[in-house]
């Protein structure tokens, strides 16, 4: 049985996050339905029993600061966003995992910001075997 928790998280921009190019590439490499981001958090059985706050990184699309979202400067493609006009700001959310969480539990929430469309995030909990 999988539990699901839904929540909505509003992010105030500008955030303290920073743009990470590798994140952009990974993000654009996802299938077209990239509106849903899936993240996995791995907990030991002890951590699952106690509950935890886990950081989850979510790339939020925003307008490129260099070209203002136009994708070009006067004569050339904008080098910062490679012409896309988009920039991704990596935002770290703190997701509260309640005590006694079960393996396979998932948390779904929607991340909203004033300058980007909402991003749906699903976090799945993996509880590692305590055999070690």
CB of 87 to Zn ion, least distance (A): 7
Give, as ranges, the residues between 105 and 124 that touch Zn ion (CB under 5 A).
none
Long-range contacts, 37-40 (Cβ 8 Å, 24+): 37/119, 37/120, 37/121, 37/122, 38/121, 38/122, 38/123, 38/124, 39/121, 39/122, 39/123, 39/124, 40/123, 40/124, 40/125, 40/126
Among 11, 48, 58, 67, binds Zn ion (CB under 5 A): 67
Please report whether residue 66 would count as binding Zn ion according to CB under 5 A.
yes
DSSP type of residue 116: E
Between 2 and 70, CB nearer to Zn ion: 70
Stretch that binds Zn ion, among 9-17, 39-47, 58-66, 96-104 (CB under 5 A): 58-66
Between 10 and 65, CB nearer to Zn ion: 65
Please report whether residue 81 would count as binding Zn ion according to CB under 5 A.
yes
Number of chain positions touching Zn ion (CB under 5 A): 6
Cβ atoms of residues 16 and 86 within 8 Å: no
Q: What are the structure tokens assigned to 104, written together? A: 């396979």
Cis peptide before 94 (omega within 30 of 0): no
Stretch that binds Zn ion, among 4-12, 46-54, 61-69, 117-125 (CB under 5 A): 61-69
Stretch that binds Zn ion, among 54-62, 78-86, 98-106, 121-129 (CB under 5 A): 78-86
Q: What are the structure tokens assigned to 2, written together? A: 């999988």
Q: How far is Cα 90 from Cα 107, in angstroms, rounded to an integer? A: 19
Q: Which residues bind Zn ion (CB under 5 A)?
A: 64, 66-67, 78, 80-81
């Amino acid at each position: 049985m999988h539990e699901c928790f839904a929540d909505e998280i509003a992010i105030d921009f500008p955030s303290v996050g920073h743009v990470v190019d590798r994140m952009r590439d990974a993000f654009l490499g996802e299938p077209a339905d990239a509106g849903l981001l899936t993240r996995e958090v791995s907990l030991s059985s002890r951590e699952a029993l106690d509950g935890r706050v886990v950081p989850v990184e979510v790339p939020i699309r925003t307008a490129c600061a260099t070209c203002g979202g136009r994708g070009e400067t006067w004569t050339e493609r904008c080098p910062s966003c490679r012409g896309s006009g988009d920039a991704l700001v990596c935002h770290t959310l703190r997701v509260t995992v309640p005590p006694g969480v079960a393996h396979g539990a998932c948390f779904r929430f929607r991340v909203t910001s004033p300058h980007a469309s909402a991003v749906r995030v699903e976090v799945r909990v993996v509880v590692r075997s305590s055999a070690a």
